[in-house]
Amino acid sequence: MAERVILFDTTLRDGEQAPGYSMNLDEKVRLAKQLEALQVDVIEAGFAIASDGDFKAIEAVASAVKECTVASLSRALQKDIDASWSALRTAARPRIHTFIATSPIHMQYKLKMDSADVLDQAVRMVTYARNLCGDVEFSAEDASRSDWEFLYRICEAVIDAGASTVNIPDTVGYTTPDEYAALIRGIREHVPNIDKAVISVHCHNDLGLAVANTLAAAKAGATQLECTVNGIGERAGNAAVEELAMVLNTRKDYYQLECGIKTSEIYRTSRLLSSITGVAVQPNKAIVGANAFAHESGIHQHGILAHTQTYEIMTPASIGLHTNTMVLGKHSGRHAFVDHVKALGYDTEDKSIIDEVFTQFKQLADRKKSVSEKDIEALMENRTTAVPATYALESFVINSGNRMTATASLTLKFGKRLLSDVSTGDGPVDAAFRAIERITGFSYTLEDYTIHAVTGGKDAQGEVSVRIQADGRTYKGRGVSTDVIEASIKACLSAVNRLAYEVNHE
């Protein structure tokens, strides 16, 4: 019988620390609910002491999530642990996760402590945390570059102090699969009380080995695997939850391990993260990339037609990716539409959202011959926003050409008022964005602009993601339309609305 491993998701903590992946409170709660639907075992919701925003987000996730353990990270300091416990109080299953560095280079240059002081600090803080919370995880930061004998001693000591999980992180992505597996075996063999704790691993991808190292450690006896959606995280990222889950699911014959992940929620989870952050997944990304189930080679296509397993070791449906086209059009009724939305996994309880998206669906059906599941997903994701629409697009007119200066005339809704202005620019999108600046009065710099087709064909919807910067802060926006200029305007307005919301609530 396969042994069950714990999947600890740190997308909301380590993942969010990566540049361009910051999320506000509502976005974190929304992603946490999806992680709960994905059925991860532990959600690390943030670093409570880091900021007031992180603290509030952990509080909100702790209240919203009922089926998963919710963890907060803290340094091995009393003030950090107090902040974590305060944020976690309402969690159904709280966990305090405390850490201290154990490698010689970190102890000497960062902590300026010797190994005896580090061990003493770890034991005192684990003891303190255990008196507050019944579930305490201890991490030996930079464990893969630490002295193994010292790791054995500190693991034994913190377990005696009350740690129920000991994490052995490859913090800088330095180790290799064979070396890491040997370290995990060494801990199992040389820590006398290791049977009283779970061995966890947390691998970074600096050398492209995060998933390989994690799986090698699991094979060697680690039973908690730390990971993130799409592999996001500090520097080159972390082990990807979707890759770990599908490896264990596909190669159960070799690993003899299983996890509780509901694999049919994988694609939706990946898509939601991209939608929230505005960062697209690279096409060749394993499991969730656009090319993961695409076949262009004639030999491959022939094999797939003969038998799917000739070139596919997983099915698209196994990760929740459906390839059929919805039989919906401009004559479809609301009831059929709601049934399809439910089948795609979306909550249909909010009547105002469904009414608005159904109207948008009808408008889209008038423009397109067929409406696909991806079209519906794009409409739903575009509507589900974490901030109110201070400004909404009423109308726009664009004049552009290779022998004229691009001009954009925009009218925006602002409450019950209509605000209009005209601007020129280096192209139609630039002109439209400058017009938005003039109307709203917000000054910003465009940091990133990306566009891709939601579906194939010349009537495909364009999905635009933008990132703007104002006063040193970054705001993301997303827009969808069959007209790429309209999608661009909607994306810019989405980002500006986030800016307006933050300014109005400071």
> In this structure, what DSSP letter does residue 145 have?
G
Residue that wins the pLDDT comparison between 456 and 99: 99
Choose among 164, 162, 135: nearest CA to 71.
135
Same domain, 40 and 169: yes
Residue range(s) defining the domain that contains residue 118: 3-277
Please give the average per-residue pLDDT across 275-299, as a whole number.
79
pLDDT of residue 370: 67
pLDDT of residue 323: 55
pLDDT of residue 133: 98
Q: What is the number of residues in the chain?
A: 506
Kindly tell me if the per-residue pLDDT of 336 is higher than 90. no
For residue 310 the two structure tokens come to 């000739």
Q: What is the average pLDDT score of the chain?
A: 90
Kindly tell me if the per-residue pLDDT of 295 is higher than 60. no
Write phi, then psi, for 185 (nearest 5 degrees). -65, -40
Same domain, 197 and 315: no
Task: Name the pLDDT band for 300 (thresholds 50, 70, 90).
Answer: very low
Query: At what angle are helices 334-343 and 373-383 packed, to 10 degrees?
Result: 90
The Cβ of residue 259 has, within 10 Å, a number of other Cβ atoms equal to: 21
- pLDDT above 90 as % of the chain: 69
Same domain, 305 and 235: no
CATH classification of the domain holding 465:
3.30.160.270
Write phi, then psi, for 318 (nearest 5 degrees). -65, -20
pTM (2 d.p.): 0.82
Which residue type, as a one-letter code, is found at position 105?
I
Same domain, 240 and 300: no
Q: Helix (H, G, I), strand (E, B), or coil: what is residue 6?
A: strand
Task: Give dist(CA 447, CA 440) in Å, integer.
Answer: 19
pLDDT of residue 506: 62
pLDDT of residue 496: 95
For residue 315 the two structure tokens come to 């099915």
The lowest-confidence range among 15-29, 128-142, 256-270 is: 15-29
pLDDT of residue 299: 47
CATH classification of the domain holding 82:
3.20.20.70
Same domain, 316 and 197: no
Kindly tell me if the per-residue pLDDT of 61 is higher than 70. yes
For residue 418 the two structure tokens come to 């209509």
> In this structure, what DSSP letter does residue 143 have?
G
Residue that wins the pLDDT comparison between 455 and 140: 140
User: Does residue 403 form part of some domain?
Assistant: yes
Query: What's the sign of the alpha-carbon dihedral 144, 145, 151, 152?
Result: positive
pLDDT in tens, 218-267: 999 999 999 999 999 999 999 999 999 999 999 999 999 999 999 999 99
Same domain, 307 and 424: no
User: Does residue 369 form part of some domain?
Assistant: no
Kindly tell me if the per-residue pLDDT of 124 is higher than 60. yes
Kindly tell me if the per-residue pLDDT of 322 is higher than 70. no
Highest mean pLDDT among 52-56, 307-311, 467-471: 52-56
Kindly tell me if the per-residue pLDDT of 458 is higher than 80. no
- pLDDT above 70 as % of the chain: 90
Q: Which residues contact 391 (CB under 8 A, 6 or more apart)?
A: 412, 413, 414, 419, 436, 439, 440, 493, 496, 497, 500
CA geometry: angle at 501 spanning 496 and 506, to 5°?
130
Same domain, 228 and 312: no
User: Does residue 366 form part of some domain?
Assistant: no
Task: Give dist(CA 108, CA 369) in Å, integer.
Answer: 66
State how many domains the chain has: 3
Query: At what angle are helices 373-383 and 266-277 packed, to 10 degrees?
Result: 50
pLDDT of residue 128: 98
User: Does residue 72 form part of some domain?
Assistant: yes
Query: What's the sign of the alpha-carbon dihedral 150, 155, 156, 160?
Result: positive
Beta bridge partners of 290: none
Q: What share of the chain is helix, strand, coil (3-state, %, to 5)?
A: 45, 20, 30
pLDDT of residue 301: 46
Kindly tell me if the per-residue pLDDT of 80 is higher than 50. yes
Residue that wins the pLDDT comparison between 350 and 312: 350
Same domain, 179 and 308: no
User: Does residue 346 form part of some domain?
Assistant: no
CA geometry: angle at 226 spanning 253 and 36, to 5°?
90
Element (H, E) at 504: helix 484-504
User: Does residue 330 form part of some domain?
Assistant: no
**C-beta of residue 69 within 8 angstroms of C-beta of residue 94:** yes
Task: Name the pLDDT band for 361 (thresholds 50, 70, 90).
Answer: confident
Task: Name the pLDDT band for 302 (thresholds 50, 70, 90).
Answer: very low
pLDDT of residue 86: 98
For residue 276 the two structure tokens come to 């929230």
Number of Cα atoms under 13 Å in the Cβ half of residue 462: 16
Same domain, 209 and 306: no
Same domain, 264 and 309: no
For residue 404 the two structure tokens come to 């004229």
- Residue for token pair 């939706």: 268
Same domain, 272 and 304: no
Same domain, 86 and 132: yes
